[in-house]
């Protein structure tokens, strides 16, 4: 039988946090009481989401540190539990329908806690979408993937798109969109990689994968020198293919349809499958698909 977190349980979680209980202790108490671990973590995230909204990120924020306790048991590296890891996070306290991104009001269409996924509407104007496509088109080449075996880049049969990167702040439209993203996700502009534009023709896809860099691969340390781990991804849809081309999250059965001007954001607080951020670009069945992707790092990307 599936378990459902009740309002009473969520209130209890908040009370434990106010009393100074560590997230690991709260999680252990819940699992000992018979709660499934994934349900317990989701309940902790939901309960603390509004409680810590609007506050500075502190060690009391269970949203991040609760899942880090799970990571420790799974053998993944972690920071001390007394330090909550800062993460990109849109300001959604009070469940707003829209958020202020500085120069544009953006719609909130989907707000999922586990995995951390938010679908935004109206992030880009139609004119901005067209301008990005036009600026990128002359520079497109077969897309490469980061090669964690070597720390370089390589062709990958799982990724059959063409793409290019803009340098951060390369031109006026890129600068404008990067500033908007930084405001929307409450994350330093300098912690973002350069904006990538991708073009998928019919039949092209990007098979399910993770965006973080596998810490067990030999090339990862050299990749991390440029800004640490990736902690978030924003995929912006620049057009609408006739059929197919959605962004899929297989672990949770979610598919986000590509709609011009909309975007999907997802975050991952550790480089581990428990974040449920396995995702892919479904094959384009008819028409072309254009997207712009922004990856966010822990530190300044150089």
Is the sign of the CA dihedral 277, 137, 184, 106 positive or negative?
Answer: negative
Instruction: Classify residue 80: in a domain, yes or no.
Output: no
Same domain? For 189 and 54 the reply is: no
Question: 130 with 63, same domain?
Answer: no
Q: Tell me the two tokens of residue 234.
A: 């924003």
* In the block, residue with structure tokens 């550790």: 270
Claim to verify: residue 158 and residue 280 sit in the same structural domain: yes
Shared domain for 33 and 153, answered yes or no, is no
Instruction: Kindly give, in sequence order, each residue whose CB lies less than 8 Å from that of residue 19, ignoring residues fewer than 6 positions away.
Output: none
Task: Say what the pLDDT of residue 64 is.
Answer: 38
Q: Are residues 64 and 123 in the same domain?
A: no
Specify whether 114 is located in the same domain as 210: yes
> In this structure, is residue 15 part of a structural domain?
yes
Q: Are residues 120 and 188 in the same domain?
A: yes
Percent of all residues in the chain with a pLDDT value above 90, rounded to a whole number = 65
In the block, tokens 């009070």 appear at 94
What are 223-247's pLDDT values in tens digits?
A: 999 999 999 999 999 999 999 999 9
Residue 11 lies in a domain: yes
d(CA 175, CA 64): 30
Q: Is residue 51 part of a domain?
A: yes
Q: Is 83 part of a structural domain of the chain?
A: no
100, β-bridge pairs: 105
Q: Are residues 60 and 112 in the same domain?
A: no
Note the pLDDT tens digit of each residue in 99-122.
999 999 999 999 999 999 999 999
Residue 112 and residue 44 share a domain: no
pLDDT at 174: 98
| Tokens (6 digits) for 221 | 């340390």
Q: Is 60 inside any structural domain?
A: yes
Listed residues 31, 56, 73: the one ending a domain: 73
Q: Are 188 and 275 within one domain? A: yes
Mean pLDDT per 10-residue interval, the chain, length 302 residues: 73 80 82 80 77 46 40 40 75 95 98 97 98 96 64 57 94 98 98 97 95 95 96 98 98 97 97 97 97 98 96
Q: What is the pLDDT of residue 153?
A: 53
Domain assignment present for residue 87? The answer is: no
Quick one: 60 and 109 in the same domain?
no
Decide if 123 is inside a domain: yes
Q: Which residue, 57, 73, 89, sits at the end of a domain? A: 73
Q: Per the structure, how many domains does the chain have?
A: 2
Cβ contact 39:3 at 8 Å: yes
Phi then psi dihedrals of residue 188, to 5 deg: -55, 135
* pTM to 2 decimal places: 0.71
Domain containing 52: what range?
7-73
CATH code (residue 103): 2.60.120.620
Same domain assignment for residues 136 and 265: yes
Q: What is the residue-wise DSSP string for 47-65?
A: HHHHHSTTSPP-TT-HHHH
Q: Which pLDDT score, from 0 to 100, does residue 55 have?
A: 45
- DSSP per-residue string spanning 218-230: TTHHHHHTTTS-E
């Amino acid at each position: 039988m599936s378990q459902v977190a009740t309002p009473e349980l969520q209130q209890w979680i908040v009370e434990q946090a106010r009393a100074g209980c560590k997230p690991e202790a709260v999680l252990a108490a819940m699992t000992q009481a018979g709660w499934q671990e994934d349900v317990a973590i989701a309940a902790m995230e939901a309960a603390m989401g509004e409680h810590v909204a609007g506050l500075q990120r502190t060690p009391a924020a269970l949203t991040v540190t609760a899942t880090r306790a799970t990571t420790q048991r799974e053998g993944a590296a972690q920071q001390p539990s007394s330090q909550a890891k800062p993460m990109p996070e849109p300001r959604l306290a009070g469940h707003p329908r829209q958020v202020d991104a500085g120069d544009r009001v953006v719609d909130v269409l989907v707000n999922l806690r586990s995995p951390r996924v938010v679908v935004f509407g109206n992030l880009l104007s139609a004119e901005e979408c067209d301008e990005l496509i036009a600026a990128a088109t002359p520079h497109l080449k077969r897309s490469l993937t980061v090669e964690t075996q070597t720390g370089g880049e390589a062709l990958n049969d799982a990724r059959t798109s063409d793409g290019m990167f803009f340098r951060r702040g390369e031109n006026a439209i890129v600068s404008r969109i990067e500033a908007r993203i930084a405001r929307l996700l409450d994350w330093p502009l300098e912690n973002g990689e350069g904006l990538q534009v991708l073009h998928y023709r019919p039949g092209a896809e990007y098979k399910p994968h993770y965006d973080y860099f596998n810490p067990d691969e030999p090339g990862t340390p050299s990749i991390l020198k440029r800004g640490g781990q990736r902690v978030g991804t924003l995929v912006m849809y620049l057009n609408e293919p006739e059929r197919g081309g959605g962004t899929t999250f297989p672990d949770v059965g979610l598919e986000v349809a590509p709609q011009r001007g909309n975007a999907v954001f997802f975050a991952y607080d550790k480089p581990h499958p428990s974040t449920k951020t396995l995702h892919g670009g479904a094959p384009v069945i008819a028409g072309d698909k254009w997207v712009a992707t922004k990856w966010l790092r822990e530190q300044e990307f150089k």
